Structure 1
Amino acid sequence: MNRENGEYQIEINGITHWIKVAGKENDTIPLFIIHGGPGGNLYTFERTVGPYLSQNRTVVYYEQRGCGRSGKPIDDNAYSMNELIDDFRGIIHWTGSETVDLLGYSFGGELALEFASNFPDLINKVILSGPSLINLKTQYMIQIAGFLSIASITLVNRIEEILQENTLIEHKYKQVWEIVDQETIDRLLFVDPDIATKYRQLVTESNLHNTGLMLEALQENPITPTLYERLNHIHHKTLIITGVYDRNTGIPISNLINRNLSNSEWILFNNSAHFPELEETEKFVSSVLGFLKA
């Protein structure tokens, strides 16, 4: 890789992308960190787990179009999977890397698999933490069931009323997310309330907001054939990390992905929910570094 440590604002496909390089001195295959959301950012990862990884690896952070510190497209619908894939192609070209490793969490795990599917010769190893499959109806049902398992009685009753309505699961899913409060979302995503509080503090500190435009665009314009249908064509060595209390994407999605990939291994984190990198940081870092060195 021919880029030095530091932050960059680079125009790719008409969008100014925020990119950061750390740990260049380690001279390893670059490890690209791919954030979730859809529509999230890397602010928290960059200030928690990232520095531990860049002590040993060359790490490249980048925020997707319309996310975090990157620029937004003029068209609110310009968040298709193909556009995200094409952006990543440009970012790899900008770094001058011949091959890269990927670490994607939540939706970032799904995106990492899309990159592996589209650039099989550029991708070396893939790490997925709590990966999603956002357009799989099972994903919607897992999250709704997750809310039911940790919500107050009042909220449970409201969710059950939504489930009884004669509407599509996608509509029910959106309705549920509209009525849940922050405390319930924290219980969905975390085991340790102190970690949830720290996470929310960093989110507030970042002053970065998810517009929801990317999620809406990806849901309305799914790529075909679906990633689920293409998993068995992805042959990269892959590590899947899942918190046993992950009620957001959950064990069922990780199991589905692991079962269909041809070269994957799966680790469960017994004291984590959706963010094992925050709730079991030491184990997460050692698992990632060990996998990359093997």
Structure 2
Amino acid sequence: MQFRPVVKSLRSSDGTSIHAEFVGDVQKPCIVLVHGFNMSSVVFDDLFCDVSLLREVCMARYDLRGHGRSGIPEESSAYSSSLYADDFSTVMREFRFGRPILVTWSYGGSIPCDIYANLGPDILAGVVYIAGFPYLAPPIFPDGVTQLTVTCLQCQMYPPDVAAYLRAKTTFVDAICQWQDVESVEHRRRLTWLAPAFFQSPQVVRNLLTRQQDPEKLLEALRCGTPVLMLYGDADKLMNGEHIVREMQQHCADMEVHIMRGAGHAPFFERREEFVSGILRFVDRAMTKRKLDSTAF
């Protein structure tokens, strides 16, 4: 089974360019992959051509504003919650998605909060948090991150000099995975993952980490039964999965937790087969629930 990805450069409501891609059969359930901080959607290259996934779902991915091949404005006003929701809407309209499952990683976990706050309660069929942060406010953030993450982020926001800024970005990306063999393909992948971080100035980093979110609409949707999968590795160096699960359990009426033993901050890369199996089970559960809900009225 082979599909040729469709690659688009879109324009959001404020004119910011949004790099987006689609692959698969649109008649199948749709999932949207959302990457993490300092990264871009290239981190999902392996998933985007995974045959076992493409048999069951179609996929979209896009670079968040402030990252990768999307626009990286310097103005803080360009990082409002409503604009992140508009970016998502722009991608959905282009690819004609209806109620997808959002599969979010790390910082990307904050995007459902923007979607629910600005677009209403019936936009998503489910949410997957891969080592993710459901919103950028206490008690989830910054308490859900490790001291290593705090140090790296602070140095990126307010670097004492250029060398420290570059070291902080490299340390942060290297902490995501254990890059075992720097002479192999893993080294090339490491450089590919690291490169987008250097497009961001300290001002952009501050914009990304200090933007305001209101989690109430998100939490209301979760209390009303939106299916949620919390998935994280127990060897994560950057976030505290137990803390985030504990905080979110009180709000989620339908939450599943999957702990990936020995995995770090990028379990979709480190344990791809286990990850894909878990995602497909969740997609089946979320789609079944959606059908049952639709026939109940």
TM-score (norm 1): 0.75
Structure 1 residues 6 and 256: alpha-carbon distance in aligned structure 2, compared to 1, 3 A threshold:
same
Q: Deviation digits for residues 233-261 of structure 1, max 9, x if unmatched?
A: 42311111011122322221233223422
Mapping 1:1-294, distance limit 5 Å: 5-13=5-13, 14-24=15-25, 27-37=27-37, 40-45=39-44, 47-52=45-50, 53-73=53-73, 75=75, 77-117=77-117, 118-132=119-133, 133-136=135-138, 139-146=141-148, 184-185=171-172, 188-191=175-178, 193-194=180-181, 197=187, 199-203=189-193, 209-223=199-213, 226-227=214-215, 230-234=218-222, 235-251=225-241, 252-294=243-285
Compute the displacement of 1:187 (Å): 6.2
Q: Deviation digits for residues 35-54 of structure 1, max 9, x if unmatched?
A: 111x5311121x22222133
Compute the displacement of 1:60 (Å): 0.8
Structure 1 residues 239 and 206: alpha-carbon distance in aligned structure 2, compared to 1, 3 A threshold:
same
Q: Secondary structure at the match of 1:49?
A: helix
Compute the displacement of 1:184 (Å): 4.9
Aligned position for 1:163: none
Q: How many residue pairs were aligned? A: 266
Compute the displacement of 1:8 (Å): 1.1
Structure 1 residues 174 and 228: alpha-carbon distance in aligned structure 2, compared to 1, 3 A threshold:
farther
TM-score (norm 2): 0.75
Q: Is the 8 A contact 1:139 1:253 kept in 2?
A: no
Structure 1 residues 137 and 264: alpha-carbon distance in aligned structure 2, compared to 1, 3 A threshold:
closer
Kindly provide the amino acid, as one letter, of the partner of residue 97 in structure 1.
F
Kindly provide the amino acid, as one letter, of the partner of residue 177 in structure 2.
F
Kindly provide the amino acid, as one letter, of the partner of residue 145 in structure 1.
Q
Q: Deviation digits for residues 54-109 of structure 1, max 9, x if unmatched?
A: 34311011112232112344735411122111221222222222321111100111
Q: Secondary structure at the match of 2:141?
A: helix
User: CA–CA distance in 2 between the matches of 1:193 and 1:228?
Assistant: 42
Compute the displacement of 1:126 (Å): 1.3
Further displaced range: 139-148 or 246-255: 139-148
Q: Secondary structure at the match of 1:140?
A: coil
Kindly provide the amino acid, as one letter, of the partner of residue 230 in structure 2.
I
Q: Is the 8 A contact 1:246 1:274 kept in 2?
A: yes
Q: Secondary structure at the match of 2:136?
A: coil
Structure 1 residues 134 and 172: alpha-carbon distance in aligned structure 2, compared to 1, 3 A threshold:
farther
Measured on the aligned residues, the alpha-carbon RMSD in Å equals 3.4
User: CA–CA distance in 1 between the matches of 2:83 and 2:16?
Assistant: 11
Q: Is the 8 A contact 1:23 1:56 kept in 2?
A: no
Q: Is the 8 A contact 2:156 2:169 kept in 1?
A: no
Q: Secondary structure at the match of 1:260?
A: coil
Structure 1 residues 146 and 262: alpha-carbon distance in aligned structure 2, compared to 1, 3 A threshold:
farther
User: CA–CA distance in 2 between the matches of 1:15 and 1:260?
Assistant: 34
Q: Is the 8 A contact 1:271 1:280 kept in 2?
A: no
